[in-house]
Structure 1
Amino acid sequence: MENQTKVKQTDRLVTVTLDPNTITSINPDEVHEWRIAIYDLLENNSFRPARVSATGPFALHISITGNSIVLDVRHPETFQPIAAHYLSLTPFRRLIRDYFRVRDAYYEAIRSAQPFQIETVDMARRGMHNEAAELLRTRLTNKIIIDLNTARRLFTLICAVQPYASRIDESKSELPSVLFVCSMNSVRSPIAAALARQAFPGRIIARSVGVNGGKADQFVHEVMEEIGIDMSVHTPHILDELVANRFDLVITLSDDAPDAVARKGLEAGAIEHWPVADPSLVEGSRELILEAYRALRDSLRKRVRTRLEPLVSGALPAKVDTTFAVRKGDNH
């Protein structure tokens, strides 16, 4: 019993998040399917990265780059990187097609078929799932150590998210890009980036980072859920993790962000500072705190749409006077 408890506490996933830049959907049924797959994976799993000294439990951040699923293993509290692996989707193409074919046949059988027919389809489903799980474990050899049941659930999640991957190659994309930066990438910058993606779906690349690493914020999840944005998939990132070095617009949202951006040496068509209050500093009742988060959300929602409209339409003005932007910020 002691060994089982140890495995349960350490060699397992406790958080799974999805990259909103590369896995996109505004269909609630699709998002619901992702949530069910994530819930099933977290409910019962055995998972640990190979060849690293870090001890769990772990968080897994999933993104899609080109033809690969990126499995980014992180610390569940600080989201500090532990290990990241690229998993090519090519060997799984047939199995992914079979997954949807057999799934649809199973649902149809439940609605109209006899019990023996349901059992036949279910056997085919289990066989396909086992084949995919074994292939997944093989492809992750010396990368991630998982048991068969975990591999089955992870394959289901991969199937759920990969049809909706945007597969934007940001290095070649001509879409306008904006980067939001705040202190911890927990509240202000992820809210702003999510609002940008909601306002201009498929028309802009919106990213967010923090000067330092932070934690996911439950109040953010609640107030963004109210306007149809699932922030439970957000993983905090820091400036040093940025791959891209060029953005059409960089917007800083905390006092420490402008200097950090300057030290990073990012190339930007325009840099602006929006000094907005951090609602996580508000003290008082739960409802009072939620109102502070809603106020931030609503003010950023209007400002993001107004500011990014000319960028998306191709009418972004030349480099702005950031001093003026700072002085005017408190009035927006």
Structure 2
Amino acid sequence: MRRPREFDRKTDRIVTVTLDPSTITSINPDEVHEWRIAIYDLVEDNCFAPARVAVGGPFALHLSIIGNYIVLDVRHPETYEPIAAHYLSLTPFRRLIRDYFRIRDSYYESIKIAQPFQIEAVDMARRALHNEAAELLRTRLDNKLEMDLNTARRLFTLICAVQPYASRIDERESKLPSVLFVCSMNSVRSPIAAALARRLYPGRIIARSAGVRSGKADGFVHEVMEEIGIDMSVHTPHTMDELVANRFDLVVTLSPDAPEAVARRGLEMGDEEHWPTADPSQVEGNREAVLSAYRSLRDTLHAQVRQRLEPLVSGGSQSA
């Protein structure tokens, strides 16, 4: 019998959720909308805390999918420093995930054509499924991540929303060309470049970004990338120490401190280039002046990424 944890609702909670754009991929706005609704519901009301750590909350939760595992990566919500990470096998949840979509579709259909008692029956089945999945989730994460039943229900819904769109690419074994973009804090330049690479060559390249040190998410990045249909709210800043892969076909450094940091990291690479790139977060002026600087960076990187990666993706020379 699990002993209930006493949660402090001010600190034992998730305040932001991000998704790894390299392993959870979709350009369908309806699918992205479903993710956002599931994330909103989870963040709106939850009780959550990593077990066996002394760090207090609140927390940020970053999700990625590697092979048959969903990675629950708990971080500090301001600095994004790692706190705890757990690999959760999806195998025990396969039947429940299939039933989730079956019952969800039945529920939507019943709303259109069924009698009230039929809608209630489907709704009862949906609640029972969520309760079963929530208990299994808490059991699998026992003594790792602690949460109440309602939080587990919402987390299961989010897992269902994102897992069908997992790329299932193991970066250590993939034959796709790979590129790493590095800047100071993985907040502006490198994540924009990686997002543009993924947009230009979906399913044809592995594009990663990292920082010399960890930074904070940048609201202006979200805004200017949203203008071209790229959701950057899923981005969590990472450092090079957190990279899964150690070899890249191309490493592009974008800030003055990045080349030395890459050399210290000892990455294996086919080629390395430095693109001197201004940091728009250092621009002073009114809001429009700052946004103009971010847009200029976005458009400049778009042209550079397209020109440089086209031969790499097409199987041509890795050298410019």
Bin of the TM-score, shorter chain as denominator length? over 0.9
- After TM superposition, give the deviation of residue 316 of structure 1 in Å: 2.2
> For 1:239 and 1:299, how far apart are their aligned partners in 2?
24
> For 2:255 and 2:20, how far apart are their aligned partners in 1?
23
> For 1:91 and 1:13, how far apart are their aligned partners in 2?
24
> For 1:164 and 1:317, how far apart are their aligned partners in 2?
30
Aligned residues: 314
Tell me the equivalent position of 1:93.
94
- After TM superposition, give the deviation of residue 12 of structure 1 in Å: 0.1
Tell me the equivalent position of 1:184.
185
Structure 1 residues without counterparts, runs of 5 or longer: 1-5, 321-332
Matching of residues 25-104 of structure 1 within 5 Å: 25-104=26-105
Q: Equivalent residue of 1:9, what SS?
A: coil
Deviation per CA, 1:215-266: give whole Å up to 9, x if none. Answer: 0000000000010100000000011112211100000000000111111111
Deviation per CA, 1:181-213: give whole Å up to 9, x if none. Answer: 000000000000000000000000000000011
Residue identity opposite 2:181 in structure 1: F
Tell me the equivalent position of 1:330.
none
Residue identity opposite 2:91 in structure 1: T
* C-alpha contact 2:23 2:169 (8 A) present in aligned 1: yes
Q: Equivalent residue of 2:9, what SS?
A: helix
Residue identity opposite 1:134 in structure 2: E
Tell me the equivalent position of 2:137.
136
* C-alpha contact 2:249 2:318 (8 A) present in aligned 1: no
Deviation per CA, 1:60-82: give whole Å up to 9, x if none. Answer: 01000111110000000010000
- Does residue 113 of the first structure (1) align with residue 122 of the second (2)? no
* C-alpha contact 2:14 2:59 (8 A) present in aligned 1: yes
- After TM superposition, give the deviation of residue 90 of structure 1 in Å: 0.5
Residue identity opposite 2:125 in structure 1: A
Residue identity opposite 1:313 in structure 2: S
Tell me the equivalent position of 2:236.
235
Tell me the equivalent position of 1:162.
163
> For 1:244 and 1:136, how far apart are their aligned partners in 2?
29
Residue identity opposite 1:161 in structure 2: V
> For 2:156 and 2:36, how far apart are their aligned partners in 1?
14
> For 2:193 and 2:173, how far apart are their aligned partners in 1?
24
> For 2:239 and 2:10, how far apart are their aligned partners in 1?
27
Tell me the equivalent position of 2:3.
none
Overall identity of the aligned pairs, in %: 79
Tell me the equivalent position of 1:272.
273
Q: Equivalent residue of 2:250, what SS?
A: strand
After TM superposition, the score normalised by the length of structure 2 is 0.97
> For 1:114 and 1:269, how far apart are their aligned partners in 2?
63
Tell me the equivalent position of 1:324.
none
Tell me the equivalent position of 2:288.
287
Residue identity opposite 1:195 in structure 2: L
Q: Equivalent residue of 2:174, what SS?
A: coil
> For 1:21 and 1:224, how far apart are their aligned partners in 2?
16
- After TM superposition, give the deviation of residue 317 of structure 1 in Å: 3.7
> For 1:240 and 1:83, how far apart are their aligned partners in 2?
15
- RMSD over aligned Cα, in angstroms? 0.9
Residue identity opposite 2:248 in structure 1: F
* C-alpha contact 2:252 2:274 (8 A) present in aligned 1: yes
Residue identity opposite 1:188 in structure 2: R
- After TM superposition, give the deviation of residue 18 of structure 1 in Å: 0.4
Deviation per CA, 1:250-287: give whole Å up to 9, x if none. Answer: 00000000111111111111100001110000111111
